[in-house]
Amino acid sequence: MAAQGTIRERARDIVEEFGLFDDWMGKYEYLIEIGQGLPPLDPLYKTEAYRIHGCQAQVWVRPVMKNGRVFYEGDSDALITKGLVALLIRVLSGQPPEDVVETSLEFLDEIGMQDHLSATRRNGLASMVRQLKRFAQMHANQA
Amino acid sequence: MHATGAIQDIPGKFDPAQVRDLFPTLRREVYGKPLVYLDNAASSQKPQAVIDRLIRYYSSEHSNVHRGVHLLSREATDAYEAARKRAADFLNAPSESAVLYTRGATEGINLVASSFGPLHVGQGDVVLVSHMEHHSNIVPWQMLCEAQGARVRAIPVSDTGEIIYEEFERLLGERVRLLAIGHVSNALGTINPLQNMIRQAHELDIPVVVDGAQAAPHMKIDVQALDCDFYALSSHKMFGPTGVGILYAKPERLKAMGPWQGGGDMIETVTFEQTTYNEPPHKFEAGTPNIADVLAFAEAIDFLEGIGQDRIAAYERDLLDYATEQLLQIESVRLVGTATEKASVLSFLIGDIHPYDAGTILDRLGIAVRTGHHCAQPLMRRFGIPGTVRASFALYNTFDEADALAAGVRRVREMLG
């Protein structure tokens, strides 16, 4: 999870990986696989405090600051949602908070998952992103 | 007027091929695949006649009702009141004045809770609902009970998703002052035994409010045979426009009820000292109503009756049986709601696959279903599940679409199982 590279570099890797599949089924299967590979969140943290609302599925994200960088762990009881959580973590975890605040996450567009970002989708990806950024915002410019 | 007149002439079994062409949305593709629309319990698609009626009204007939001396206003008023007659006949209501226009079933129930509730429910009383109610037949009663110092109690539901009748009878004895019950469960499809429930409630002088939102598109409704005190339904679930519905109320109940909202049209005379109210139904219809949608709703009623609700019910029963059979052949599919009497709804789970995941994949396959708690959270808790996948059928759905659903569910299992 402590992948190397900037947000842009990591996002580019993801776009390349998804580019290997030419239909939506392949992309979704890969997303599900990524979700399955996400280490489960300690049940200790599956509490209201870490819960992201606005999702049909349950989603939790736990942020921590370490050495001036923001780290995220997360989980969901739905696999597609978990895959989306895993993508966000892969791109954003371990980054400087300022970068997290500023990122636009266009890569979701490029891998064909943009419709999950729409506020009307009940998976809460939009509120998830807001939550991740809010935490980063609180710690930005403090380092 | 009767766009479906031709269908009436075709005797015997109903075939959806006869009507599919009348629904432009059904010709749509999603993600490059033909749309398989199985979310009819949420809202149904509209036949061209309904759409045309809206256009015709706004193109050449629009004027306010009950107000003008001029020709346009008189025509609009006549059409608006003729639609009420149409709705009254549709429900076999004793008179037009027993039929109120609302925004939908939710508003109808809220109207009863606000205007009739306080007359009947007081401190320490009970409003009885069932465990399978939609939130819109729970929350208005909670609000009433909170104001009155009363409480809501729920008739328990069995593992098959049916009312436990002995429990209903037992609960009736507990200071129940009002029974509010769904005709058909939106989450399970269960058809409740209303006839007996209403009779027993009336023996104890308990008025009955029926949430008919899920029944009206699928079967013949006869409010006099049911003998219910109130019956609420929504146009948009029965091929009509959104934003309009009907509340049927027994005339003697209406007479006792005070107005709900104040404004134009609901008054007789207004002075700053005192206002006297119009007679029902207009007493309960303040402000300029939803004229266009009312007229188009009448068109939807023509469409339904043109086919014949008994033929619709018979066809949908066959379709539901077939779809149920197809789904049960798939390993790990579990139905939620297996009542003997069911309409239109197939609620299910696929192994431990989250309904949201299943719905997302089905969507990509062009199959529109609903996932989640279906605005029936107490019921989902009763079954100990976060929600279900719900396929809900209408008269235009085909056996091929039931096959497509089964194939889709198999695909979901391959991808997520």
Residues A70-127 pLDDT 10s: 999 999 999 999 999 999 999 999 999 999 999 988 888 888 887 776 656 655 778 8
Which member of A32, A57, A77 has the closest CB to residue B416?
A32
Give the active site residues of B: 375
Q: List the 27-56 stretch of A: residues with Cβ below 8 A of B.
A: 28-29, 32, 55-56
In angstroms, the CA B289 to CA B63 distance is 11
pLDDT the model gives residue B43: 98
What is the Cβ-side half-sphere exposure of residue B120, based on CA atoms within 13 angstroms? Answer: 26
Give me the DSSP letters along B48-110. HHHHHHHHHIIIII---SSS-SSHHHHHHHHHHHHHHHHHHHHHT-S-GGGEEEESSHHHHHH
Q: Is A57 on the interface with B (CB under 8 A)?
A: yes
What fold characterizes domain B52-305?
Aspartate Aminotransferase; domain 2 (3.40.640)
Minimal CA separation from B138 to chain A, in Å: 21
CATH class label, B308-416: alpha beta
- Per-residue confidence (pLDDT) for residue A53, from 0 to 100: 83
Tell me which residues of chain B have a C-beta less than 8 Å from any C-beta of chain A.
31, 353-357, 360-361, 364, 371-372, 386-387, 415-416
pLDDT on residue B2 = 41
How distant, in Å, are the alpha carbons of B35, B216, B339, B359, B397 from that of B394?
14, 11, 19, 19, 6
Give B257-265 contacts, CB < 8 A, sequence gap 24+.
Answer: B257/B115, B257/B116, B257/B119, B257/B284, B258/B115, B259/B115, B259/B283, B259/B284, B259/B286, B260/B111, B260/B114, B260/B115, B260/B284, B260/B286, B261/B286, B261/B287, B262/B286, B263/B287, B264/B288, B265/B66, B265/B289
ipTM for this prediction: 0.89
The Cα–Cα gap between B207 and B179 comes to 6
Q: Is A117 on the interface with B (CB under 8 A)?
A: no
DSSP-based helix, strand, coil % in chain A, nearest 5:
50, 15, 35
Smallest Cβ–Cβ distance between B357 and the set A24, A58, A78 belongs to A78
- Contacts of residue B133, defined as CB under 8 A and 6 or more positions apart, other chains included, come to B154, B180, B181, B182, B211, B376, B378, B379
Per the DSSP assignment, residues forming a β-bridge with B347 are: B390
* Partner-chain contact B415 A25, CB within 8 Å: yes
Number of Cβ within 10 Å of residue B153's Cβ equals 16
* CA–CA distance, B330 with B308 (Å, rounded to integer): 34
* CB atoms B372 and A24 under 8 Å: no
CB pairs under 8 A between A and B: 43
Residues of A in contact with B416 (CB under 8 A): 32, 79
Tell me how far apart the alpha carbons of residues B400 and B35 are, in angstroms, rounded to a whole number. 12
* Contact assignment for A78 to B415 by CB distance below 8 Å: no
Instruction: Give the pLDDT band (50/70/90) at residue A3.
Output: low
Question: Which residues of B fall within a CB distance of 8 Å from A26?
Answer: none
B355 vs A contacts (CB less than 8 Å):
56
Please say whether the beta carbons of B415 and A28 come within 8 A: yes
Task: Classify residue B34 as exposed, middle or buried by CB count within 10 Å of its CB (0-12, 13-18, 19+).
Answer: middle
How far B356 CA sits from the closest chain A CA (Å)? 7
Contact B354 A57 (CB under 8 A): yes
Question: Which chain A residues contact residue B361 at CB under 8 A?
Answer: 28, 80
Instruction: State how far residue B119 is from chain A, nearest Cα, in angstroms.
Output: 39
Q: How is domain A7-42+50-139 classified at the CATH fold level?
A: Sufe protein. Chain: A (3.90.1010)
CB contact under 8 A, A80 and B31: no
Q: Which of A32, A78, A123 sits opposite B415 (nearest CB)?
A: A32
Question: What is the spatial distance between Cα B276 and Cα B266, in angstroms, rounded to a whole number?
Answer: 9
Residue spans of the domains in chain A: they are: 7-42+50-139
**Number of helices followed by number of strands (H, E) in chain B:** 16, 17
- Averaged pLDDT of chain A: 88
* Residues of A acting as catalytic residues: 55
Any idea where the domains of chain B sit in the sequence?
52-305, 308-416
DSSP string, B228-290: -SEEEEEGGGGTS-TT-EEEEE-HHHHHHPPPSS-STTSEEEE-SS-EEEPPTTGGG--SS--
**Per the CB < 8 Å rule, is A79 touching B354?**
yes
Task: Tell me whether the CATH fold assigned to B52-305 matches the one assigned to B308-416.
Answer: no
* B415:A28 CB<8 A: yes
Chain B residue numbers touching A55 (CB-CB < 8 A): 356
pLDDT per residue, tens digit, chain B (417 aa), is: 344 444 444 457 888 988 999 999 999 999 999 999 999 999 999 999 999 999 999 999 999 998 778 999 999 999 999 999 999 999 999 999 999 999 999 999 999 999 999 999 999 999 999 999 999 999 999 999 999 999 999 999 999 999 999 999 999 999 999 999 999 999 999 999 999 999 999 999 999 999 999 999 999 999 999 999 999 999 999 999 999 999 999 999 999 999 999 988 888 889 888 889 999 999 999 999 999 999 999 999 999 999 999 999 999 999 999 999 999 999 999 999 999 999 999 999 999 999 999 999 999 999 999 998 899 999 999 999 989 999 999 999 999 999 999 999 999 999 998
Q: Quick one: closest CA in B to A57, which residue?
A: B356
